[in-house]
Structure 1
Amino acid sequence: MTVAFQAMLAAATGKPCGRGRLPLVAGHPCPTPYSVLYPLESRYTGAPLGDKTEDAHLVYQVTVVADREDQAEWLADRVRRAVLAREASGQWVYQIEAPGTDVWARQLLLDDGLEEAGADVDVVTAVQRYELSASATP
Protein backbone atom coordinates (compact mmCIF):
# COMPACT_ATOMS: atom_id res chain seq x y z
CA MET A 1 0.00 0.00 0.00
CA THR A 2 2.80 2.44 0.86
CA VAL A 3 4.50 1.98 -2.52
CA ALA A 4 1.17 2.44 -4.32
CA PHE A 5 0.35 5.58 -2.31
CA GLN A 6 3.82 6.99 -2.99
CA ALA A 7 3.47 6.34 -6.73
CA MET A 8 0.04 8.02 -6.83
CA LEU A 9 1.36 11.11 -5.02
CA ALA A 10 4.31 11.49 -7.40
CA ALA A 11 2.14 11.03 -10.50
CA ALA A 12 -0.73 13.25 -9.31
CA THR A 13 1.44 16.13 -8.07
CA GLY A 14 4.05 15.91 -10.82
CA LYS A 15 6.78 16.14 -8.16
CA PRO A 16 9.02 13.44 -6.66
CA CYS A 17 7.90 11.71 -3.47
CA GLY A 18 10.35 9.86 -1.24
CA ARG A 19 9.44 7.04 1.10
CA GLY A 20 10.80 8.04 4.50
CA ARG A 21 13.64 10.06 2.97
CA LEU A 22 14.65 12.59 0.34
CA PRO A 23 13.58 11.33 -3.09
CA LEU A 24 16.27 10.63 -5.67
CA VAL A 25 16.06 11.40 -9.37
CA ALA A 26 18.54 9.45 -11.52
CA GLY A 27 20.44 8.57 -8.34
CA HIS A 28 20.82 12.18 -7.19
CA PRO A 29 18.89 14.19 -4.57
CA CYS A 30 16.00 15.90 -6.31
CA PRO A 31 15.52 19.66 -6.26
CA THR A 32 12.75 21.21 -4.21
CA PRO A 33 9.82 21.16 -4.01
CA TYR A 34 9.19 17.50 -3.23
CA SER A 35 7.27 15.41 -0.72
CA VAL A 36 8.21 12.61 1.66
CA LEU A 37 5.75 9.87 2.67
CA TYR A 38 5.99 8.29 6.13
CA PRO A 39 3.86 5.28 7.10
CA LEU A 40 2.62 5.74 10.68
CA GLU A 41 0.27 3.62 12.77
CA SER A 42 -2.23 1.19 11.34
CA ARG A 43 -5.23 -0.52 12.84
CA TYR A 44 -7.24 -3.44 11.64
CA THR A 45 -10.76 -4.69 12.23
CA GLY A 46 -10.16 -8.43 12.35
CA ALA A 47 -7.57 -10.20 10.25
CA PRO A 48 -5.41 -7.62 8.37
CA LEU A 49 -6.65 -7.96 4.78
CA GLY A 50 -6.67 -11.75 5.22
CA ASP A 51 -10.45 -11.94 5.27
CA LYS A 52 -12.25 -10.10 2.49
CA THR A 53 -14.75 -8.69 4.99
CA GLU A 54 -12.07 -7.12 7.22
CA ASP A 55 -10.72 -3.58 6.92
CA ALA A 56 -7.35 -1.89 7.42
CA HIS A 57 -7.01 1.75 8.44
CA LEU A 58 -3.56 3.02 7.50
CA VAL A 59 -2.18 6.39 8.61
CA TYR A 60 0.45 8.22 6.57
CA GLN A 61 2.25 11.52 6.98
CA VAL A 62 3.13 13.55 3.90
CA THR A 63 5.78 16.21 4.45
CA VAL A 64 6.21 18.81 1.72
CA VAL A 65 9.68 20.37 1.44
CA ALA A 66 10.31 23.58 -0.50
CA ASP A 67 12.60 26.59 -0.71
CA ARG A 68 9.81 29.16 -0.46
CA GLU A 69 6.39 29.48 1.14
CA ASP A 70 4.58 29.77 -2.18
CA GLN A 71 6.20 26.52 -3.41
CA ALA A 72 5.23 24.71 -0.20
CA GLU A 73 1.65 25.97 -0.36
CA TRP A 74 1.36 24.99 -4.03
CA LEU A 75 2.61 21.45 -3.47
CA ALA A 76 0.61 21.00 -0.24
CA ASP A 77 -2.54 21.96 -2.19
CA ARG A 78 -1.65 19.46 -4.93
CA VAL A 79 -1.15 16.70 -2.32
CA ARG A 80 -4.55 17.46 -0.74
CA ARG A 81 -6.24 17.32 -4.15
CA ALA A 82 -4.39 14.13 -5.07
CA VAL A 83 -5.62 12.36 -1.95
CA LEU A 84 -9.12 13.80 -1.51
CA ALA A 85 -10.48 14.89 -4.93
CA ARG A 86 -13.48 12.99 -6.27
CA GLU A 87 -15.27 12.84 -9.59
CA ALA A 88 -18.95 13.82 -9.76
CA SER A 89 -19.69 10.06 -9.68
CA GLY A 90 -17.96 9.74 -6.29
CA GLN A 91 -14.90 7.91 -7.65
CA TRP A 92 -11.47 9.11 -6.58
CA VAL A 93 -9.82 11.32 -9.21
CA TYR A 94 -6.45 9.72 -8.45
CA GLN A 95 -6.62 5.98 -7.80
CA ILE A 96 -4.21 4.21 -5.47
CA GLU A 97 -3.30 1.13 -7.48
CA ALA A 98 -2.55 -1.52 -4.84
CA PRO A 99 -3.27 -4.98 -6.32
CA GLY A 100 -5.91 -6.91 -4.42
CA THR A 101 -6.90 -3.87 -2.37
CA ASP A 102 -9.85 -1.48 -2.52
CA VAL A 103 -9.13 1.89 -0.89
CA TRP A 104 -12.70 2.88 -0.05
CA ALA A 105 -12.16 5.88 2.25
CA ARG A 106 -9.60 8.66 2.61
CA GLN A 107 -9.55 11.21 5.38
CA LEU A 108 -7.38 14.22 6.20
CA LEU A 109 -6.45 13.91 9.88
CA LEU A 110 -4.01 16.82 10.23
CA ASP A 111 -2.93 19.79 8.15
CA ASP A 112 -0.24 21.54 10.16
CA GLY A 113 0.35 24.39 7.73
CA LEU A 114 3.74 25.83 6.86
CA GLU A 115 6.83 25.92 9.03
CA GLU A 116 10.11 27.58 8.19
CA ALA A 117 13.28 25.79 9.28
CA GLY A 118 14.85 29.04 10.50
CA ALA A 119 16.78 32.08 9.35
CA ASP A 120 19.93 30.07 8.62
CA VAL A 121 18.18 27.47 6.45
CA ASP A 122 16.04 28.29 3.41
CA VAL A 123 13.59 25.42 3.83
CA VAL A 124 9.84 25.52 4.30
CA THR A 125 7.87 22.39 5.22
CA ALA A 126 4.19 21.52 5.45
CA VAL A 127 2.90 18.42 7.23
CA GLN A 128 -0.32 16.57 6.45
CA ARG A 129 -1.62 13.26 7.84
CA TYR A 130 -4.11 11.01 6.08
CA GLU A 131 -5.95 7.83 6.95
CA LEU A 132 -6.66 5.39 4.15
CA SER A 133 -9.29 2.71 4.77
CA ALA A 134 -8.99 -0.41 2.64
CA SER A 135 -10.35 -3.90 2.19
CA ALA A 136 -9.15 -6.84 0.16
CA THR A 137 -10.83 -7.23 -3.22
CA PRO A 138 -12.28 -10.55 -4.34
Structure 2
Amino acid sequence: MIERRLVTDSLRLLLETSTGKPCGIGALPQLAGKAAEPPYSVVRSLPLTLDGAPFSDLNEDAGTQYQVDCVARSHAQAEWLADRARTGVLGRDRAGRWLNPLSVPGWSCYARSLVLDAGPEDDPAAVIVAYVIRFQLDWTPAG
Protein backbone atom coordinates (compact mmCIF):
# COMPACT_ATOMS: atom_id res chain seq x y z
CA MET A 1 0.00 0.00 0.00
CA ILE A 2 1.20 3.52 -0.73
CA GLU A 3 2.74 5.45 2.15
CA ARG A 4 0.71 8.63 2.36
CA ARG A 5 3.51 10.53 4.13
CA LEU A 6 5.76 10.06 1.09
CA VAL A 7 3.08 11.43 -1.25
CA THR A 8 2.53 14.44 1.02
CA ASP A 9 6.27 15.15 1.22
CA SER A 10 6.63 14.87 -2.56
CA LEU A 11 3.72 17.25 -3.17
CA ARG A 12 5.11 19.76 -0.66
CA LEU A 13 8.48 19.69 -2.44
CA LEU A 14 6.81 20.09 -5.85
CA LEU A 15 4.88 23.14 -4.60
CA GLU A 16 7.94 24.77 -3.05
CA THR A 17 9.92 24.21 -6.25
CA SER A 18 7.22 25.35 -8.67
CA THR A 19 6.12 28.42 -6.68
CA GLY A 20 9.47 29.43 -5.20
CA LYS A 21 7.63 29.96 -1.90
CA PRO A 22 7.55 27.97 1.37
CA CYS A 23 4.96 25.26 1.87
CA GLY A 24 3.83 23.72 5.16
CA ILE A 25 2.15 20.39 5.77
CA GLY A 26 -1.09 20.94 7.66
CA ALA A 27 0.27 24.10 9.24
CA LEU A 28 2.02 27.39 8.59
CA PRO A 29 5.50 26.74 7.13
CA GLN A 30 8.49 27.53 9.31
CA LEU A 31 11.71 29.18 8.13
CA ALA A 32 14.65 29.12 10.53
CA GLY A 33 12.26 28.41 13.42
CA LYS A 34 9.95 31.33 12.61
CA ALA A 35 6.59 31.45 10.86
CA ALA A 36 6.94 32.21 7.16
CA GLU A 37 5.59 35.48 5.87
CA PRO A 38 3.00 35.37 3.06
CA PRO A 39 2.88 34.34 0.33
CA TYR A 40 3.13 30.65 1.22
CA SER A 41 1.07 27.51 0.79
CA VAL A 42 -0.20 24.79 3.11
CA VAL A 43 -0.86 21.20 1.97
CA ARG A 44 -3.65 19.29 3.71
CA SER A 45 -4.31 15.55 3.23
CA LEU A 46 -7.86 14.64 2.27
CA PRO A 47 -9.44 11.18 1.72
CA LEU A 48 -7.44 8.23 0.37
CA THR A 49 -9.21 5.73 -1.87
CA LEU A 50 -7.99 2.32 -2.98
CA ASP A 51 -9.12 0.64 -6.17
CA GLY A 52 -8.66 -2.81 -7.57
CA ALA A 53 -7.09 -5.54 -5.49
CA PRO A 54 -8.06 -6.28 -1.88
CA PHE A 55 -6.79 -3.88 0.77
CA SER A 56 -4.05 -6.28 1.88
CA ASP A 57 -2.73 -6.69 -1.68
CA LEU A 58 0.34 -4.60 -2.51
CA ASN A 59 -0.79 -4.08 -6.13
CA GLU A 60 -3.86 -1.88 -5.69
CA ASP A 61 -4.11 1.57 -7.21
CA ALA A 62 -4.56 4.53 -4.90
CA GLY A 63 -6.20 7.92 -5.26
CA THR A 64 -5.03 10.71 -2.98
CA GLN A 65 -6.67 14.09 -2.58
CA TYR A 66 -4.98 17.19 -1.25
CA GLN A 67 -6.11 20.69 -0.47
CA VAL A 68 -3.61 23.46 -1.11
CA ASP A 69 -4.26 26.72 0.70
CA CYS A 70 -2.43 29.58 -1.02
CA VAL A 71 -2.01 32.30 1.60
CA ALA A 72 -1.15 35.85 0.62
CA ARG A 73 -1.48 39.52 1.57
CA SER A 74 -3.65 40.53 -1.40
CA HIS A 75 -6.16 39.13 -3.86
CA ALA A 76 -3.71 39.51 -6.75
CA GLN A 77 -0.88 37.83 -4.82
CA ALA A 78 -3.18 34.91 -3.87
CA GLU A 79 -4.16 34.41 -7.50
CA TRP A 80 -0.50 34.56 -8.59
CA LEU A 81 0.47 31.88 -6.05
CA ALA A 82 -2.53 29.70 -6.98
CA ASP A 83 -1.62 29.98 -10.68
CA ARG A 84 1.93 28.84 -9.90
CA ALA A 85 0.67 25.95 -7.73
CA ARG A 86 -1.88 24.83 -10.35
CA THR A 87 0.72 24.92 -13.12
CA GLY A 88 3.24 23.14 -10.89
CA VAL A 89 0.90 20.23 -10.22
CA LEU A 90 -0.98 19.98 -13.53
CA GLY A 91 1.47 21.41 -16.09
CA ARG A 92 2.78 19.23 -18.92
CA ASP A 93 5.38 19.69 -21.62
CA ARG A 94 4.63 19.32 -25.37
CA ALA A 95 5.29 15.58 -25.19
CA GLY A 96 2.67 15.21 -22.44
CA ARG A 97 5.12 14.63 -19.59
CA TRP A 98 4.52 16.30 -16.23
CA LEU A 99 6.57 19.47 -15.82
CA ASN A 100 7.25 18.57 -12.18
CA PRO A 101 7.68 15.02 -10.94
CA LEU A 102 5.98 13.50 -7.92
CA SER A 103 8.46 10.91 -6.68
CA VAL A 104 7.26 8.11 -4.43
CA PRO A 105 9.41 4.94 -4.39
CA GLY A 106 7.59 2.01 -6.01
CA TRP A 107 4.71 4.13 -7.30
CA SER A 108 3.87 6.06 -10.46
CA CYS A 109 1.47 9.02 -10.51
CA TYR A 110 -0.46 8.33 -13.72
CA ALA A 111 -3.13 11.05 -13.41
CA ARG A 112 -3.50 14.45 -11.78
CA SER A 113 -6.66 16.51 -11.80
CA LEU A 114 -8.21 19.62 -10.36
CA VAL A 115 -11.09 18.77 -8.02
CA LEU A 116 -11.89 22.28 -6.73
CA ASP A 117 -10.70 25.77 -7.51
CA ALA A 118 -12.56 27.88 -4.94
CA GLY A 119 -10.74 31.12 -5.67
CA PRO A 120 -9.61 33.70 -3.13
CA GLU A 121 -11.78 34.99 -0.33
CA ASP A 122 -13.10 38.40 -1.26
CA ASP A 123 -13.06 40.20 2.10
CA PRO A 124 -11.32 43.56 1.51
CA ALA A 125 -10.86 43.99 5.28
CA ALA A 126 -8.93 40.71 5.62
CA VAL A 127 -5.25 40.96 6.45
CA ILE A 128 -4.65 37.55 4.88
CA VAL A 129 -6.22 36.19 1.70
CA ALA A 130 -6.55 32.41 1.22
CA TYR A 131 -7.11 30.72 -2.13
CA VAL A 132 -8.23 27.08 -1.89
CA ILE A 133 -7.40 24.46 -4.53
CA ARG A 134 -7.95 20.68 -4.33
CA PHE A 135 -6.10 18.12 -6.40
CA GLN A 136 -6.65 14.40 -7.07
CA LEU A 137 -3.47 12.38 -7.59
CA ASP A 138 -3.87 8.82 -8.92
CA TRP A 139 -1.17 6.22 -8.32
CA THR A 140 -0.36 2.75 -9.53
CA PRO A 141 2.49 0.47 -8.47
CA ALA A 142 5.60 1.10 -10.61
CA GLY A 143 6.84 -1.89 -12.35
CA deviation string 1:52-79 (max 9, x = no partner): 3x21000100001001111101000000
- Would the alpha carbon gap of residues 107 and 48 (structure 1) be closer, same or farther in structure 2, given more than 3 Å must change? farther
In the aligned structure 2, how far is the partner of 1:17 from the partner of 1:93? Answer: 19
- Give the TM-score normalised by the residue count of structure 2: 0.89
- 1:105: how far off? 0.2
CA RMSD of aligned residues (A): 1.6
- 1:28 deviation in Å? 0.8
Instruction: Name the SS of the counterpart of 1:22 in structure 2.
Output: coil
Identical counterparts, % of pairs: 40
- Is 1:130 the counterpart of 2:143 in the alignment? no
Q: Secondary structure at the match of 1:3?
A: helix
Output the amino acid matched with 1:103: C
TM-score where L is the length of structure 1: 0.92
Q: What is the number of equivalent residue pairs in this alignment?
A: 136
C-alpha displacement at 1:116, in angstroms? Answer: 4.2
Equivalent residue letter for 1:22? L
8 Å CA contact retained: 1:9, 1:79:
yes
Are the structure 2 counterparts of residues 4 and 124 from structure 1 closer, same or farther at C-alpha, using a change threshold of 3 Å? same
Q: Is contact 1:114–1:126 with CA below 8 Å preserved after alignment?
A: yes
Q: CA deviation at 1:49?
A: 9.1
5+ residue gaps, structure 1, are none
Deviations 1:93-136 (A, max 9, x none): 000111211001000000001104662x4111100000000012
Q: Give secondary structure in 1 for the equivalent of 2:58.
A: coil
CA contact (8 A) 1:49 1:135 kept: no
- Separation in 2 of the partners of 1:49 and 1:12? 35
How far apart are the structure 2 equivalents of 1:132 and 1:24? Answer: 26
- Unmatched 5+ stretches in structure 2: 1-6
Partner of 2:116: 110
CA drift at 1:51: 3.1
Change over 3 Å in CA distance of 1:116–1:29 after alignment to 2: farther
Query: Equivalents in 2 of 1:137, 1:34: separation in Å?
Result: 32
